[in-house]
Amino acid sequence: MAATLAATIAASLPAQPAATTSSVKPTYEAIPASMSKIIDVMAEIPVTSVQIDAMVVSKIIKHGREASFGTGSLLGLDFDGTMEISNCFPLPAFPEEEDKAAKSAAQANYQKRMIGYLREVQGDEYIVGFYQTTSVPLRQSLVELQAFDHERLRHGGIVIIHDPLQAARGIASFKAYRLTPQFMAAHKQKKFNAQSLIEHRITFSSIFEELPIRIHTSALASAFLQMCAEPSPPTTLQTYAAKSAMTIPTPYISLPPDFSHLDLGMPSTMTRSIEHVIEGLDNYRTEENNVAYLSRQIAREKAKADTYVSSRKEENTRRIAQGLPPLPEDDVSRMFKIPPEPSRLESMLLLGQVDASAKHLEESTSTGLVRIFAGQAPV
């Protein structure tokens, strides 16, 4: 009975048309001339600014509160020279003693799964860079990660640096950077010795290029914040309570006034900035001692090689004068292990950290001094 019913239903359905092979090639519509300068298919329009969604700002600040140092991926799309960042997600953190290759593989797998989840809900899935929450910029890990993204991301990718110490004082500190062409030229050669830095004119201030940031807030969120900021009339219960107490009801404000700008904040901020400066100077001195030791070792090996070459030349001169055949010239590089010139990248990055910490110390102390004098001035 079941087979007969299935056969009857199948017979009642319209016959499927036979699949025919067509040699017609698909046609693609050209981009209109009015949109050709905006829709950048070949990534020819350089990125000159960064636009961050308010939700992304909130996520990064939340991540900075949970961890003093964190990393995450940025999602978005470039449009008419502006990198629009519409979403982000943090990457898992691992202890420093973990294997570097294992950590990179784990973060890559996590990133791949998150991209798959976003694709399922039709969210933005294009990675345009990464962010870091740190109070010490210009780390070597930051430079290496940005150089790796420069080769595989559109427009080379960008990096957003958020300072959680500034956020604790009520200052949303966000800066967008990307690597400069001269640094990438030296990075492709894998040479950061003194001669390479001079040829490419690289200093700690020319490694990254800062881009202007604009925070984008939706109309609904702006309306909500405006509603919260404006005082609202008192409720019925507040009116009755004020009448019973013979007082005038005051308007109710959803968001209480913020007096964080009146906080001097001198001791903690200045102490932390001074600690960063001292730590950076100690690390720089240690790195310079290592570079000096390697330089002395290279000089000793080169002196031994030069002495051997000069002695062999003198001996061959005497043998030729005596009518004897000269001795063969040996390969000096095989006989003497001359190490390569040490990289100066770490020293340059440490100088950049000291410079950034000193500027931050100058800004915080100058603002604090102005507030102290304003507080002591007679009213």
Cβ–Cβ under 8 Å, residues 327 and 319: yes
Cβ within 8 Å of residue 41, ≥6 positions away: 31
Cβ–Cβ under 8 Å, residues 200 and 187: no
SS3 state of residue 214: strand
Question: Token pair 């990457």 is at which residue?
Answer: 91
pLDDT tens across the length of the chain (379 residues): 445 655 665 566 555 555 444 455 555 566 666 565 556 666 677 888 999 998 899 899 888 888 878 889 999 988 888 889 999 999 888 777 677 778 888 888 888 899 888 888 887 888 898 999 887 777 877 888 888 888 788 788 899 999 887 777 777 789 999 888 888 888 888 888 888 888 888 888 888 888 999 988 888 877 877 777 666 665 555 555 555 555 544 555 556 666 665 665 555 667 777 888 888 889 889 988 988 888 888 888 888 888 878 888 888 788 888 878 877 776 666 777 777 888 888 888 888 888 888 887 787 777 667 766 766 656 5
In whole angstroms, give the CA distance from residue 275 to residue 263.
Answer: 21
Q: What letter would DSSP give residue 232?
A: B
